[in-house]
Chains A and B, each alone.
Chain A
């Protein structure tokens, strides 16, 4: 049964597909660490993906996203659905380390075999992160999870990119953020399909709702789907069922209008292009930079023995022949 992290292979895929949580876990590690085996695994898993509903959850720090995720997951479990959760927390730019503390709010789900939770750090490579979370989602999807949550702190563009890859994106806000709502408006407001105002028993919840309504009404691009707002008190479980109804409504909407197909089509397109770019990038790094050929080219160029244009043409020819 033992799977070495270095020798992930054909067995891993088989085990993952037959329900080994360890194989799933090690697959996500391979994805996260960009092990060479990862792409081979993903190739094998790909035909088994495309079944799960992916829900992105984002919002500012302290909005109660993990608690809300916990409560939503419990409700979906009651309906008999299996759940995967990917919780992304920021990596410290100083040390490269991170404290991934989302599980603490989901401890009640740990022993439920129908739930699989994985914490990920942003690890400074924000560009690659959306690609990694997307692959981790696929692993959970192939494993057979019905609903997959992807939770991030919505502070940067890259985190936004991550949740954008979801079928439905939920933005969580809380009262008392003051003028911050103006600041985050540009970033995450426009990606929300559903809005949750958490800690709705706190002062300012009504005001936040009114402001949010105003902003959403002003946005002309929302003719097809006007994002609804639901007040919740996550830690007391209030408003959770209503929120789920709205999520379902959105999912039905995108299915019926063909938006789901369009979104997934767009997602595949983006993924393919990015994979292509990053593969070419890795090829260049490995075969041209690391091998020392680049330095030779540089000195040739400096001595005017050769020029950049010729070299690029030659290299492209070489690459395309392979």
Chain B
């Protein structure tokens, strides 16, 4: 065996010597891997059984299910939502008819930050980046004629996740679907809101309580629900590197598991419902390696650190979205190609579900036509490309395995550093994670501006362009419309019941031993609004004040 290695080493030396002169780098390709060529020597310390193993087998490097896409394809889940519940309901039904296998709800910013549409701070934002939800009444319309017993629904909602989940449960009740039949995911990942995405409401401590309340409530009442989607996507969008994306996110994951254990939950009672959310960025092979490395790290964390017993607790299941920040406003059709390559990365990396961005999203919300191309991209990769034909097709590639090891090692370094700081919450409070992300973002921008990094159509191969026609416009009157609906609903509901439910919720907020979910559900059922419910919690919990180190 060692003679074999020696032989490869000798030949590699000879090869390197022979091409030495040809190594002058193109200035615009300053980010090439250290080596031009990878050989068995680069993975000589990698053990197949321990480090790579089989799909569905610890440490799950090759995938979490034994059969992966030979069993069924990933869930093609298109993130959508804008304007009013009526408009979004139409888009959802269109997507389901077009073959989308799951829904993914985008909420507008007032909803994400717990304000009603008639709050002065909501002005100009209602219905813009997602659908406006003020109360159960809107949620009923949003899922009108959609069977919650059949569809799986992902909701991008964090700070007020408990309230939107309660509304979903209440819509289910009205449709005659019991909570234990509901399938879906709430993002519910507050830590990355502080570090990267910005739609936080409450300070970390009460936020962590809300999250563990949801874990506990769902483990008993909504067992098929994914109670959190621990998200690296937005950390990457904010400018992090691939290693930072998974390191910071897994550190967040560790913080959630610790909080739940501290709250008295058994790790195997909730860990199986934890899911992750990754970004599919431009560098295809690096991304595949990242997905593989993330599974291996999480498996080790759950087994070695938290002593999980159930296999399900150790499996990192993840949703993927193609990188929004890599879409260019210039020559937007090029984005179709970028998204296709990113889709390939997600699929070869073994994602459980995928949202593909539309070509026009650097300009506005996508049109129906662009969304269709994005969905078709997934279908082409699934049915035509052959990438989904075998499991983990890049395993054994010298380069991809070496890269998987490298990303894993870099991520562990960060995780250890964050442990030393005192965990993700402390690292965020000290601004450490934010600073690391910002430094990477600034470096990226400077590399693009210096030409060290090429973005086609942006800093190379530019052309004169005409403004893009036919972008989606959200009707400016949506704010007024929504305000009118809200006023009408408030006039109709039983206001005494609302008052009582809110008072009861306030008392429950004060008692840290109380699980808030049943109280929120009661308030939702009598049509207390999102703003009213979050207002009560704001009053008791206070609000998070960001501080930024630049």
Contact = CB atoms under 8 A, between A and B. Distances in A.
A312 interface: no
Nearest to B549: A101
B545 A105 contact: yes
B550 A235 contact: no
A133 interface: no
Contacts of B545: 67, 105, 107-108, 235
Interface in A84-126: 99, 101, 104-105, 107-108
A50 B147 CA distance: 73
B427 to A, nearest CB: 14
B550 A67 contact: no
B550 A99 contact: yes
Contact of B547 (A67, A99, A108): A67
A288 B517 CA distance: 79
B546 interface: yes
B9 interface: no
Interface size range of chain B in the complex: under 10
A104 B198 CA distance: 14
Contacts of A235: 545
Contact of B546 (A62, A66, A99, A104): A104
Contacts of A66: 547
A108 B549 CA distance: 18
Secondary structure of the A side of the interface? Answer: helix
Most buried by B among A66, A99, A104: A104
Contacts of A99: 550
Interface string B436-457: 0000000000000000000000
Interface in B402-445: 430
The listed residue with most A CB atoms (<10 A of its CB), out of B546, B547, B549, is B547
Interface in B470-522: none
Interface residues of A, number: 10
Contact of B548 (A62, A67, A101, A108): A101
A289 to B, nearest CB: 38
A320 B430 CA distance: 57
B83 to A, nearest CB: 30
A101 B546 CA distance: 12
Most buried by B among A66, A99, A108, A235: A235
Contacts of A62: 430
A104 B547 CA distance: 6
Q: Looking at B430, B545, B548, which has the most chain A CB atoms within 10 Å of its CB?
A: B545
Interface string A136-147: 000000000000
Contacts of B547: 66-67, 104-105
Contacts of A108: 545
A67 B548 CA distance: 12
A137 B550 CA distance: 27
A240 B192 CA distance: 30
A133 B550 CA distance: 24
Contacts of B548: 101, 104
Contacts of B546: 104
B54 to A, nearest CB: 45
Contacts of A67: 545, 547
Nearest to B542: A236
Contacts of B430: 62
A67 B549 CA distance: 13
Nearest to A100: B550
Contacts of B550: 99, 101
A105 B547 CA distance: 6
A99 B547 CA distance: 13
Nearest to A107: B545
Contacts of A105: 545, 547
B50 to A, nearest CB: 38
A62 B548 CA distance: 11
A108 B547 CA distance: 13
Contacts of A107: 545
B438 to A, nearest CB: 11
A20 B547 CA distance: 30
B493 to A, nearest CB: 33
Interface in A22-74: 62, 66-67
A107 B548 CA distance: 12
Nearest to B430: A62
Contacts of B549: 101
A315 B515 CA distance: 84
A199 to B, nearest CB: 9
B172 to A, nearest CB: 39
B205 to A, nearest CB: 10
A263 to B, nearest CB: 33
A235 to B, nearest CB: 7
A67 B550 CA distance: 16
Interface in A131-163: none
A99 B550 CA distance: 7
Interface string B513-550: 00000000000000000000000000000000111111
Nearest to B546: A104
Given A99-B550, A104-B547, A108-B545, 10 more contacts: A62-B430, A66-B547, A67-B545, A67-B547, A101-B549, A101-B550, A104-B548, A105-B545, A105-B547, A107-B545
Nearest 3 Cβ contacts at the A-B interface: A99-B550, A105-B547, A104-B548
12 contacts: A66-B547, A67-B545, A67-B547, A99-B550, A101-B549, A101-B550, A104-B547, A104-B548, A105-B545, A105-B547, A108-B545, A235-B545
Interface of B: 430, 545-550
